[in-house]
Structure 1
Amino acid sequence: MTDSEREEELLFGRMALRAGFITEEQLKEALKKQEESPVHRRLGDILVELGYMTRGQVALVMRAQGRQLDKTDKRLRLPRRDVLFGTIAVKLGLATKEQINRALRRQAELRAQGKEVPLGKILVEEGVLTLSQVRTLLAHQRKSLMVCPQCGKRYNVLNAVPGKKVKCPNCGASLEEPLAIGTAEVNGAIKEEVEPGKVRIGGYVVLEEISRGWKLIYKAKDRSGQIVALKAVLDERVSLPQEVARFRQEADALKRLSHPNIARILDVFEFEGRHFLVTEFVQGRTLRQVLTEGHLTPSEAVRITKAVADALHHAHQKGVYHRDMKPESIIVEDGTGRVVLTDFGLAVCQEQTMRLTRKGFAAGTAAYMAPEAAGSAIDAYDATSDIYSLGCVLFEMLTGRPPFYGDSPLEIMVRKMNEDAPSVMDYNATVPQKLAAIVAKCLARKKELRYRSALELKEALIDLEREQEWRQKVTTLLKRSLCVATSVGSAAAIVYALYATIAYLLGEV
């Protein structure tokens, strides 16, 4: 263990102690076990193994530790371009903040020895990134780095907004993208923000930024005043010609979808090298926001799942799969309660993400992906894959948690491929047994054991509702009959009341 790694481990222990997660005796025991180990093991892993901390607590301390190391490590006098490179890597999910911090400290140690080594090279040597991923990050960084053509100053532009000119703080000229990053230092950072009504993307006036990442989403207004959502889904500057062609084909297929539970695709256009989808803007809360208040009742979870299954069936009939089902993709409209499915993924976008990042598995959120979606064969995805993802969402609606957890997306997918999903009744005993069986069928590891179509799933949920209504009806009539019979006070009257209730429900009277 190097000195810097030992310092990190001790800092982790002190922060866990200060947070009240462990006692001094527990910390000493874990440090002793770490010292005795023939191979280097993280202190957090040892504390989890001893039962003194949970994985969630370790993650919380590690995030706080990353922030603390940024503030306290005096050796990190680094070029801002390296810090920006690391920030982009974390933002795109290619590295963790802890991995970047470790590489930055290694770079600082080498600099102290008179060696200048690019951060990307260190991350490749440590097995964090591939050369292809480094090239992808440099391409993203080149877009973030801008230079003034008049005074020559260079700036890291954060949250750049398409269609908005960035002014040089020094001379006021419009900044331009450099042809290469070069080795020169940057002179500062500029954080761009959307000014409502002052930026146009194509024929749309941007009102606010909704999200940012691989996919930019803006709330905007079209020429008629209609509020819409703008989604940047493909960047032509890093796309192959065949990917652009396939994007247009798939986008045309999305435009043909017309269903009350699917956000309508209104337009597709290209602007400054990026391809945008224009969709219906739904005013409401995402299912993720709803779930922050706790799990749902079985009846509400079934209502939402029926609506989404109906939407999926319509899309599947048109040859379109969702590919990225998760609570963030489902919106419950304010006022009406209408359930709306959004953010259909495109196969070409998944393939491009795999090509650019070399992740080895398709884009998507691991907690909700079907086991077969982990492979690099996009063609393996079908209707049953969407059904599996919807089953994960239904599981979370009923329990407040997804069926599988793990320390990394890869660990989650490995568990999905090798383990059966737990029963929802393990986490919520009030869930009806037949509903638990429906969830289990959605989450079957083998595709052939799941519902064959989203329509079949919807019909199973309708049958469940009818059975629940029938049981409620039996209970109500029985209570009413017994109440009347008891008031008469005759055993014969009570028996007759039971017979009359059952006969009525069976349609005999």
Structure 2
Amino acid sequence: MPKADPQDILFGRIALHNGFVTEEQLKNALKVQYSEQKPRRLGEVLLELGYISSDQLQLILRSQDMRLDMHDKRLKTRKRDILFGAVAKRLGFASQQEINEAVKKQALLREQGKEASLGEILVEDGVLTVSQVKTILSYQRRSIMVCQGCNKRYNVVNPIPTRQVKCPECGSLLVEPEVLDSPKVDASIEEEIPSGAFSIGEYIILEEISRGGMGIVYKARKKGTNIIVALKMMLDEKESLKEEVARFENEAKAIARLNHPNIVSVFDLSCVGGKHFFSMEYIEGKTLAQVIDEGGTSIEEALSITRTIAEALDYAHSQKICHRDIKPSNIMLEGKTGRLVLMDFGLAVRQEQTLRLTKTGFAVGTPLYMPPESATAGNIKEYDPRSDIYSLGCVLYELLTGRLPFMADNPLELMVKKMNEDPPPPTVFNPKIPKPVAQIVLKCIARKIDERYPSARHLADEIASYLHKTRMRKKRHGILSKLVKYGAVTASLAAIAYATYIVTTQFLLRIF
């Protein structure tokens, strides 16, 4: 048998992993492929044999294009550069193709004995701006700082707001430059975060939980008590736009107005030394994104989760607040209680507000879960409860299938698809999904906003109705099974009794 082509190997793995083909079908297709004088691509053979559809072929090819270059072992990409590329792509700053080209260029430079970070190469290629590099580094818990004494530049890992960092060369303080002209650095410094070593206001910092482009979240304890909270603060307000500071404060005020068991509670909003922060309840558990990565949930569990979050959204909507960033990483599953908690209202807005917290027409949110109308949002009227329903529908889609309805190399292409194409039914990727459930999903993520559920309450009620009918059907099936079993036992006893009667009668006839 000839040596398999790497592209066909990857194609087969993707098709098998997504459940498009069985192992037997894949083996059969490979036999057909290798029997040909001029072997065709594996995808063509699978399509001709009727094992995959043309839509599935295109989906696999797109996924293959995004992953193929990363399978080249010669690239030897460092973990921090892999993470850098992943964040750049997720934020929409670069496409997978642009990142792959930069990785190849980095490998060539390494062969010549030169070292360059992925950020440097992407800036030189005109793909990223220095400002975008800074944003990506903040997601990696890194920050470029300059020494006030010797002007050396450092990539500081785990920078802590309000805490001073000193230059290892001359001992002078490091500061973040107001204008960053280049992503190049002389060395790296890793900051340790000893538990309880520093405090912010009336809170003692215990550990860092997470960090994003705008904010950082710490686990903290209120001084003089055993009360544990999550403390969220802005990374660098000197660099932040007034709109970003206003959005940060808006998050705290938005959640503070809400009182619901499935929405995170905010305790207070403070400012110490020019640093704005707010405290909220600390949820110990895992995000829904982690649940999906660990293998996902059953269909019934996925529906129950969606129903709970829909009820929380219905309450928020009744208070005239839209979330605008519903995604698995913003939904927590509390470890001890199993309670679901909707987090991160950083983009939440009052329905009667204008878009003064964003540039006119600028879409905010996570593109993968963002509704199509967000791409052209020119006023706040576009952000109504049905936009949140779309995002929640995408979460349900992912829970049921392990993937999202649309895939693309960059956010622009993704939003164009959302605006012009109908989403593929979730049954394409998981045939076990019942038809009524698929209809619920598709109604949530309908392209036209008027075709979605009119409210989160309608969605929650429809899921509740379906779950009730399913449980009643299972209950009836259980009762019926017991009756059938009882009938079989009764019939068996009757047969034994009849046989006994015949034997006894024959015996008595012989005697008399």
Q: TM-score, normalised by structure 1?
A: 0.70
Deviations 1:223-245 (A, max 9, x none): 22322222335853344446645
Task: Say if 2:75 is the partner of 1:68.
Answer: yes
Write the deviation string for residues 103-125 of structure 1: whole angstroms up to 9, x where unpaired. Answer: 989999xxxxxxxxx9788544x
Can you list the C-alpha shifts for 1:192-222, whole angstroms capped at 9, x where unaligned? 2422221323332222222223142222222
SS where residue 269 of structure 1 aligns?
A: strand
Which residue pairs with 1:10 in the alignment? Answer: none
Name the residue aligned to 1:507.
Answer: none
2:307·2:460 contact (CA, 8 Å) conserved in 1? yes
How far did 1:257 drift? 0.9
**Aligned partners of 2:87, 2:268: CA distance in 1, in Å?**
30
Match of 2:338 in 1: 337
Shift of 1:65: 5.7
Q: CA RMSD in A?
A: 4.6
Q: Is the 8 A contact 1:298 1:431 kept in 2?
A: yes
Q: Paired residue for 2:509?
A: none
Which residue does 2:24 correspond to in 1?
none
1:130-149 alignment to 2 at 5 Å? Answer: 134=130, 144-149=143-148
Distance in 1, Cα, partners of 2:339 & 2:65: 39
Closer, same or farther: CA 314–155 of 1 in aligned 2, 3 Å:
same
Q: 2: CA distance between counterparts of 1:20 and 1:424?
A: 21
Paired letter, 1:286: T
User: How far apart in 2 are the matches of 1:185 and 1:468?
Assistant: 60
Equivalent-residue separation in structure 2 for 1:233 and 1:437 (angstroms):
41
What per-residue deviation string (whole Å, max 9, x for no partner) do you get for residues 257-296 of structure 1?
A: 1111111112223356553332211111111111223232
After superposition, residues 284-433 of structure 1 pair within 5 angstroms as: 284-346=285-347, 355=359, 361-377=362-378, 379=380, 380-433=382-435
Aligned letter for 1:254?
I
SS at match of 1:236: coil
Partners of 1:409 and 1:86 in 2: how far apart?
15
Matched AA of 1:385: S
Could you tell me whether the CA contact under 8 Å between 1:220 and 1:229 is conserved in 2?
Answer: yes
Q: Verify the 8 A CA contact 2:134 2:144 in the aligned structure 1.
A: no
The one-letter amino acid of 1:480's match is: K
Task: Provide the residue aligned with 1:217 in structure 2.
Answer: 217
Residues 1:136 and 1:273: Cα distance change in structure 2 (over 3 Å): farther
CA contact (8 A) 2:372 2:419 kept: yes
After superposition, residues 4-403 of structure 1 pair within 5 angstroms as 54-63=61-70, 68=75, 93-95=92-94, 97-98=99-100, 100=102, 123-124=125-126, 128=127, 134=130, 144-178=143-177, 186-214=185-213, 215-223=215-223, 224-232=225-233, 236-241=237-242, 244-245=245-246, 247-249=248-250, 251-271=252-272, 273-346=274-347, 355=359, 361-377=362-378, 379=380, 380-403=382-405
State, as a whole percentage, how many aligned pairs show the same letter.
42
Partner letter of residue 68 of structure 1? Answer: L
Quick check: 2:389–2:444 contact (8 Å CA) kept in 1? Answer: yes
Q: 1:148 to 1:63 in 2, by over 3 A?
A: same
Q: Secondary structure at the match of 2:238?
A: helix
- 3-state SS of paired residue (2:258): coil
Cα 1:233–1:307 shift into 2, 3 Å: farther
Q: Distance in 1 between matches of 2:425 and 2:135?
A: 45
SS in 2 for 1:402: coil
Structure 1 CA distance, aligned partners of 2:184 and 2:456? Answer: 55
* Residue-by-residue CA offset, 1:38-81 (whole Å, 9 max, x unaligned): xxxxxxxxxxx99998444443443466982879xxxxxxxxxx
Gaps of 5+ in 1: 1-13, 31-48, 72-84, 109-117, 491-509
Note closer, same or farther for the CA distance 1:135–1:409 as it changes in structure 2 (3 Å cut): closer
Matched-pair contact (CA < 8 Å) for 1:166–1:174: yes
Check the 8 A contact 1:384/1:450 in 2, yes or no: yes
Q: What one-letter code is carried by the residue in structure 1 that aligns with 2:480?
A: L
User: Aligned match of 2:466 in 464, 467, 473?
Assistant: 464
Residue deviations 1:336-366, cap 9 Å, x none? 2111111123258x979965xx9x7523322
- Cα separation, 2, equivalents of 1:105 and 1:482: 69
Q: Which runs of 5+ in 2 are unaligned?
A: 14-29, 41-55, 79-83, 111-119, 493-512
Aligned residues: 432
- Following TM superposition, by how much is the alpha carbon of 1:144 offset from its aligned partner in structure 2, in angstroms? 3.6
Please give the secondary structure, in 1, of the residue aligned with 2:321.
coil
CA distance in 2, matches of 1:149, 1:155: 12
Please, what TM-score do these two structures have when normalized by structure 2?
A: 0.70
